[in-house]
Amino acid sequence: MTDIIDKAAMALSAGLLLFGIVGMGVLELLVGQPYSPVPLTNEAGDVIATPLFSPQLRTGVVLAGVAVLGLYAAYKIATPLAEDARTGHEAVAD
């Protein structure tokens, strides 16, 4: 059971982090100008270009990935170790 939770938590957090940082960044580059995270305005104050993804959305996706890692860490701390993981292997020193 814990193997499924381990794999799911790692896959979800890695997916969210990679999509928020790399995926959205590559999509921004492929769409083209502007590379600025804020809308660009002209001298009259009219918005002439906006980014594809808002900085709040990208930050939210990355923070969701970090939150999944935090919940996974809390789960690993709260669950007891398996019996075979507790027993150590002893070797006699020379």
Residue 94 placed within a domain? no
In a domain, residue 47? The reply is yes
- Residue 7, number of CB atoms within 10 A of its CB: 10
Rounded CA-CA distance 45/77 in Å is: 53
Residue 44 lies in a domain: yes
Residue 16 lies in a domain: yes
Taking only the tens of pLDDT, the chain with its 94 residues reads: 668 988 999 999 999 999 999 999 899 889 877 777 777 888 888 877 778 888 899 999 999 999 999 999 999 999 877 665 556 667 777 6
The domain total for the chain is 1
User: What global pTM score does this model have?
Assistant: 0.74
Please report whether residue 93 resides in a domain: no
Does residue 87 lie in a domain region? no
Closest CA relative to residue 17, chosen from 54, 70, 74, 58: 58
Whether 67 is covered by a domain: the verdict is yes
Domain coverage including residue 67? 2-80
**Would you mind telling me the total number of residues written for the chain in this entry?**
94
- Check the CA dihedral 54-55-57-61 and report its sign: positive
User: Looking at the domain assignment, is residue 45 inside a domain?
Assistant: yes
